[in-house]
Amino acid sequence: MRKKVLPLAFVLLLGFALVLSGCGGNAAPADPPAPPAPPAGQAETPPTPPPAVGKEMGDFKWTQDNIASIPPMLIRDPFIELLGQTDQPIPYYYDEVVKLAGHSCGATASSWLMVQKVFDELFPNEVPIRGKIKITAPGPADEWLLGVFGDIFCFLTGAAGPSGFPGTEFGKTFNRRNTMIYPEEQNGGAPPTLVWVFERIDTGKKVGVKFAVTNVQPQPTAERQEMSGKLVDGTATDEERADWVKYWNSRNDYVFEHADELITLVPME
């Protein structure tokens, strides 16, 4: 009798052990074994990081060449350099200005070119420095399209209004607050006569700049303005829409192609 009991007890104990070890049908699967350690003297291979998101990724493409083909501006930002986030000039692209404004037009194109000409004047022998510019507008932000120009100027130069970065523990060197100044009183002048004043904070050198918007071709007409409304309310035909889109973007092309005629630097004492 004892000979039969011992094998039976052994079988029961073995089954109970298998259940506890996770081999039962309802048990959670065991953790996978750890990968073998690399041979002595050989470093462990780090996991491959995900690809960085850049301008070259994705299928997005601008349908207007004058947005994607404009060469970038290279601008230094000493604050970013201080924080160890780059050690070289940063490329700023025209399509970033388009994203900021929400569209490309004569104002965005001329704003880009106005800053470019100001940089050439204020930083003639060096890479332009972001955060070293104070700007005075010719009128309030809500007069004409001055606020549109001002937003783009701030993006490229680092100038800012009351909401700008105050420098905090880094001191006045990196203050951006209240370096974009809009006067309270309306200017009342025609857009081609409105002069923006840019000043280097570190040297005090100033230059004015203005844009002859009324010289941009083709000229807007009453029919074009009416067509704008038809585009908005959806009553324009496909042919009308295509013609209007060509007209709008050809004006942008004109600004880029005739920058020296449309944008004028004004000497400041």
pLDDT at position 56 is 57
Amino acid identity of residue 173, one-letter, is: T
| Domain presence at residue 211 | yes
| Domain presence at residue 57 | no
| Domain presence at residue 55 | no
- Residue 99, domain extent: 67-221+251-267
| Domain presence at residue 160 | yes
If you average pLDDT over residues 136-140, what whole number do you get? 98
Cα–Cα distance between 213 and 190 in angstroms, integer? 10
| Domain presence at residue 4 | no
Q: Is the pTM of this model over 0.95?
A: no
| Domain presence at residue 39 | no
Domain count along the chain: 1
| Domain presence at residue 23 | no
Question: pLDDT band for position 57 (50/70/90)?
Answer: low
| Domain presence at residue 141 | yes
Q: What is the pLDDT of residues 194-212, one digit of tens each?
A: 999 999 999 999 999 999 9
What's the mean pLDDT when you consider all of the chain? 85
